[in-house]
Chains A and B, each alone.
Chain A
Amino acid sequence: MAVGPRAAPDEADGPSRSMAEAETRSAGARGPDGGWGWVLVAALFVTNSLIFGVMRSMGIFFVEFVRYFEQSAQAISWISSLGLAALQFFSPLAAMLCNAYNPRVVMMVGGLLAGLGLMLASQATCLLHLYLSMGVLSGLGWGLIFTPMVSSVMASFTRHRTLAVGLGFCSIGLSSFAFNPLFQLMVELYGWRGALLILGGLNLNLVACGALVRPQQRSKEDEVDPGSGAPCAAGLQRLISYLQPQLLLERPFFTYSLAMSFINIGFFVPYFHLVAHSRQAGFSDYRAAFVMSAAGITDILGRVASGWFSDLGHFRLLHLASLWTALAGLFIILLPVSSLSGSYAALMAISLLYGFCAGALTSVVFAVVPLIVGVDRMLEALGLLQLIESGAGLLGAPLSGLLKDLTGNYMASFAVAGSFPILGTLTLATLPGFFSRADPPAPQRRSHHVKDKGLQSELEQINSLSHGAS
């Protein structure tokens, strides 16, 4: 769909035929689906477990760090905050580099850096070392591999896109279950230094995941800046053009990123505060933790189920995204209400529902991006989205903590947190064409451009050959 010359078998009706064929391909009706894509789904599965499963199991190391470095728990928790922030911050950089260079190499380098960061962390002698190695360096590595990997998976599917994304992301919940006892064992056997070293080795498997991405796959959707037959060295302007910052100025993407920011502000609050709230409501530590685990299970189910359901095609992906988001927001608001009655069953039920909706919305919000910005700009869009979401995520937890401190209980903080996803849904509703029954054709500006250029070179080629022949 991107490369023009290929689309024109016949000289006579060259222009119109190529145009038609390019458009059908870009509409995605006969796009790629499956095959090597499923291998990439497995790679995404492993990638997510190594990145987020590790991040979620950091708690075990934190206990050791607090004891060894004699720092407060808050100072230690900055390590994983830095890691996540670095991942999201460097995502646009990943998009730029993948456009400028071979994406496979970028991803493999990312895996290498992530492993290196953890390996260096095992040698840390002060907290700053941990911030820089486990936080910044590993975060950079993760950022270089995460967004391109998601983008590659989405590019490899059309009909089964949401299911593929859902499957790829369900590893997060599963791995945090598995990693908690595993890390505990590693720390007991080797201390935290040895455990971090081994974890660094495990993260090196990200290099293998990156190696699975075939450059041919990526180039179908993404092409080099077509402006000029520029030389190898990429100037600053060209680099910036790889980032596609003009995406931000387009109304659909701008609206979508605003909606995502709102969603992210409220989304993580239950993960931070649910256990504390349950305890405050009078349930024992064990029961409170169990609520969290149960929500985690429905989260996994939600991702896969929503992916499968969305691909059935009964509803527009955008509508489903709005539905899950609104429901998630609603359940967040209901969470403290359910525990007010003192009923454990009610709290458990709402938490399960919340978990399901939260997982369901994760699959869909990724898969909806190519429908808004087009498959060829998906990578850059994802990168920018990650960057924007990082700011929003940072805002959510402190805000709810502040509200809790001010009011003394979690009612207000959950209510406010839940209203943000609902606000996000309303923002989504302002997207152009939201209320139409079918998806509008995805923007194809870039391929349009290339198609014309490709057409031009094709005509040139034909002319020159005919000249040569005659």
Chain B
Amino acid sequence: MIMSASWNQLFFQTTLLLVSCRHISTKTPGPTPAPLLPIGPLTNLVKTVEVRANESHTVELLERASVELVCKWAGNENKPQNVTGYWTKDGSEIKNSSVTVQLEKEQYVLKQMFTVLNETDLGNYSCVFGNEAKAEFILAVPQIGEKRDKPIIGYANDFMVIQCKIDDTKPVPTSWKWARMNGTEKEPIVAAAESRRYKIEIEERKTKLFFHKMTKADAGLYSCGAVYAIGTAYSQVELKIITFWEPLKLFIGILVEVIILVAAILIYERSQSGKQCTKENGPNPDQRNSMTQEENNDEEGGSAVRQRKV
């Protein structure tokens, strides 16, 4: 689809006019029959989603549903009476979805009812108006909001917990599952089998994967999946295992710096006060006596005078 600059301008102006348009109520039945025949009783979830051209909208689905997608387009400079509209899924055109759209009230409206029965029915659905305008609907399960893009650092022989949480505003998944990514393959983690290494805790909206005692072999990508009736949402996190030697190197460097600094301070002071006896520790009477001795040495005039006097 290639949009011309002039179409953009016109679209913007007409969008302002169309802002007053209202939502179609969900009770309106779809005019065109669904391409797939429903199998068995379908949940009564009929969602109607309406977008303007060139917009993208995410539809969250938990279970099997019938979804009606509506596209509205204001047209370009010359408004032909009819325009061909069709639907694509994930880029490729859906068969038998092409219809002729009439110009009604200065806009073209393209509607289609889709049934979503399993995970393969989810995806990117787009409506296309005769190679000129396009709008996108993303049908997907609720995504896990908290994404941790920085790797988690764990220590060998330490215990660790990785957590996946779904937002409070989103619906509760039916279950969770964990897997370890081996390249592009997912190796599921089953806690019961290797209970000495892992433990999985599931709590409605969040799940935790415990490592009892980590080893270097545990490093890698882990993925948690929130399972809904219609599909699974994934989130990945990287676990890095290091030994204590890594920070210890830096720590020893700092320790050496402190020792050098303290030594330098003490040596400098010793060289400055060469003639005075230095006392680092000492009970009080000694301190006081040596203190007075120092003061005497400091004030050469005073002590000399005293001696002369006495």
Residues of A within 8 A of B (CB): 3, 5-6, 9-11, 67-68, 70, 100-102, 104-105, 108, 187-191, 193-195, 197-198, 200-202, 204-205, 207-208, 211-212, 214-216, 219, 223-224, 229-230, 232, 461-462, 465-466, 469
Contacts and interface: CB of A to CB of B under 8 A. Distances in A.
A189 B244 CA distance: 12
A157 to B, nearest CB: 20
The 10 closest A-B pairs by CB, nearest first: A194-B247, A191-B153, A201-B254, A232-B283, A208-B261, A224-B284, A190-B247, A201-B251, A204-B258, A211-B265
A216 B254 contact: no
A204 B246 contact: no
B261 A190 contact: no
Interface residues of B, number: 46
B262 A211 contact: yes
A102 B281 CA distance: 6
A197 B292 CA distance: 44
A241 to B, nearest CB: 12
B265 A202 contact: no
20 contacts: A3-B292, A6-B295, A68-B160, A102-B280, A102-B282, A108-B262, A190-B153, A191-B155, A201-B251, A201-B255, A204-B255, A205-B258, A208-B261, A208-B265, A211-B266, A219-B287, A224-B287, A230-B284, A230-B285, A232-B285
A9 B302 contact: yes
B305 interface: yes
Nearest to A200: B251
B217 interface: no
A197 B253 CA distance: 12
A105 B281 contact: yes
A171 to B, nearest CB: 18
Contacts of A105: 280-281
A194 B292 contact: no
B299 interface: yes
B250 interface: yes
B270 to A, nearest CB: 11
B284 A232 contact: yes
A223 B254 contact: no
Contact of A6 (B251, B280, B296): B296
Nearest to A196: B247
A105 to B, nearest CB: 6
A465 B310 contact: yes
Interface in B259-280: 261-262, 265-266, 269, 279-280
A211 B310 CA distance: 39
Of the listed residues A5, A67, A191, A230, the one surrounded by the most CB atoms of chain B closer than 10 A to its CB is A191
Given A9-B305, A207-B258, A212 B247 contact: no
